[in-house]
Amino acid sequence: MTRRIFLLVLSSTFLASPLAAQVNTDAGTINPKMVERFFNQPGYSPYAGRKFATQPLWGEIHLHTSWSADAFAGGTRVGPDEALKYAEGETIESNTGQPVRLSRPYDFLMVADHSDALGTVASIYDGDQAMMADPVLKRWHDEMRKGGESASKVMMEMIALQGEGKIPKPMTDPDTQMDIWHKMTEIVESHNNPGKFTALIGYEWTSNYGGGNNLHRNVVYRDGKDKADMARPYTTFESELPNKFWEWLQAYEDKTGGKVLAVPHNGNLSNGLMFATETPDGKPIDAKWAEARARWEPLYEVTQGKGTSEQHPSLAPSDEFADFEIWDKGNLNVVPKKPGMIDYEYAREALKRGLKLEGELGTNPFKFGLIGSTDAHTGISSTEENNFWGKFPASEPGPERSTGNAFDFDGRTVKDWKLGASGLTAVWAPENTRASIWDAMKRKEVYGTTGTRITLRFFGGWDFLPEDALGGFERHKAYHYDPIEITYFLDQCH
């Protein structure tokens, strides 16, 4: 009824001048200001020319498939193709032979398999002749073929040796790595459907500096296969130091003309290294280091299956939410923590420390947005408690999931039930495309949840007034948002 009355009023307004022309002799000269009023750009439609996001896109950028060495060794057989089909809403078969499907498809997904030994464990499992010449790989082949606990022990051994830089040489061959990377980008490219579903190209650089101290980073490409194929992903076989990794990011952009960014995760498993004021090899950070980190790492993965690293209860004893899904036994290899390490592992402390470092170095290295991911090693990204498929195949739904070990290093264990069903990333991007999503990540127009899809948006500034909550954004010249659209968005939130 309101819309109809509104249209009638408009009709009488437009008819007034022609009717007057019929009664009188001349309508007179057209008023240019009146023309501008009704034929301004973008015009009557409030959606024409819209250049900003009006709803978040949901997905994650940290999922492992059977192409990750530790995942395959642990029994994962869901590959990148199946993982992307699942994210698009299809039903696939889990690693334990069960049908699985999302309650609601994702808008985007990035398969982030480990660049170290990418895709090579399948060759070991299949008994590739070149791989079987190495006695360690031959033993792994035999144990993985047995399955069950034997395969799980191989997975733990792989993680430990990778952290110590002792992965068998046949798994580190650069030519093999490049061939597999080209196959990976081909699969991802086949699933990218701009406007409907975005398949981002990326990988995980898995630095376990010093033996299990988690300094992992996920690399997110803005580009497609044509540029991504021009450089082999960086591995810890070259270096485990973040600053060397940043040099690779720069070299990639220089060589290809493309763009990449990196996302650190699991500071809670870094044993004090993730947000330290020294480099992992003990050198004080300087302005160059701070500038590089600020440039390449605009985001931080604050929650995932291996714990939430927003804040530790010992650092915020009055905050009842600081004790949510805390993993604080040790590093990735469950090497126990020493006093003081926790101070340099959690996001809130890093945000505060970054402000202090900005005063000292001129750049804030810890000015990041927050996202959430699963880090699932099943090829199945799941965050719903009634549809949760764990981190490894052993923790998929079944009678043993309540008693099994997610990690077991010589008796230092973390139980499956300690796994969190986290998390997801919301991206405020105007379009569901690689470029638009990547640009929003770079701008930090993102947030993370522990799995729920909550619509949330903030506008930051110093001179807002109470009435701005209901519109009035035209006062703020720094914003390019149309006040009509902002009002519409806020109305939808009520």
Q: What are phi and psi of 309, to 5 degrees?
A: -120, 45
Structure tokens at 18: 């022609």
Question: Residue 244 is which amino acid?
Answer: K
Structure tokens at 408: 């077991």
pLDDT by 10s per residue, the chain, length 494: 333 222 223 322 232 333 333 444 455 666 666 656 555 555 667 667 667 788 899 999 999 999 998 899 888 999 999 999 999 999 999 999 999 999 999 999 999 999 999 998 888 888 988 889 999 999 999 998 888 788 888 888 988 887 788 889 888 889 889 999 999 999 999 999 999 999 999 999 999 999 899 999 999 999 999 999 999 999 999 999 999 999 999 999 999 999 999 999 999 999 999 999 999 999 999 999 999 999 999 999 999 999 999 999 999 999 998 999 998 989 988 899 999 999 999 999 999 999 999 999 999 999 999 999 999 999 999 999 899 999 989 889 988 888 888 777 667 777 888 888 899 999 999 999 999 999 999 999 999 999 999 998 877 778 877 776 665 444 444 444 443 444 434 444 43
SS3 387: helix
DSSP string, 281-293: TSPBP-HHHHHHH
Tell me the C-alpha distance between 304 and 418, whole Å. 12
Contacts of 365 (CB under 8 A, 6+ apart): 285, 289, 290, 291, 293, 294, 354, 357
Give pTM, 2 decimals: 0.83
- Bridge pairing between strands 369-372 and 299-304: parallel
Instruction: Say if residues 112 and 63 touch (Cβ distance below 8 Å).
Output: yes
Instruction: Give every CB contact of residue 31 below 8 A, 6+ residues apart in sequence.
Output: none
State the pLDDT at residue 185: 98
Residues 6+ positions from 45 with CB-CB distance below 8 Å: none
CB-based contact 118:181 (threshold 8 Å): yes
Amino acid letter at 211? Answer: G
Q: What residue type is assigned to position 433 of the chain?
A: T
Burial label for 438, CB within 10 Å (0-12, 13-18, 19+), is buried
Single out the residue of 169, 213, 170, 185 nearest to residue 67, CA to CA: 185
399 burial type by CB count under 10 A (0-12 exposed, 13-18 middle, 19+ buried): exposed
Give how far the C-alpha of residue 188 lies from the chain's centroid of Cα atoms, to the nearest Å: 16
End-to-end CA distance of the chain: 22
Q: How far apart are CA 221 and CA 215, in angstroms?
A: 19
- Host H or E run for residue 232: none
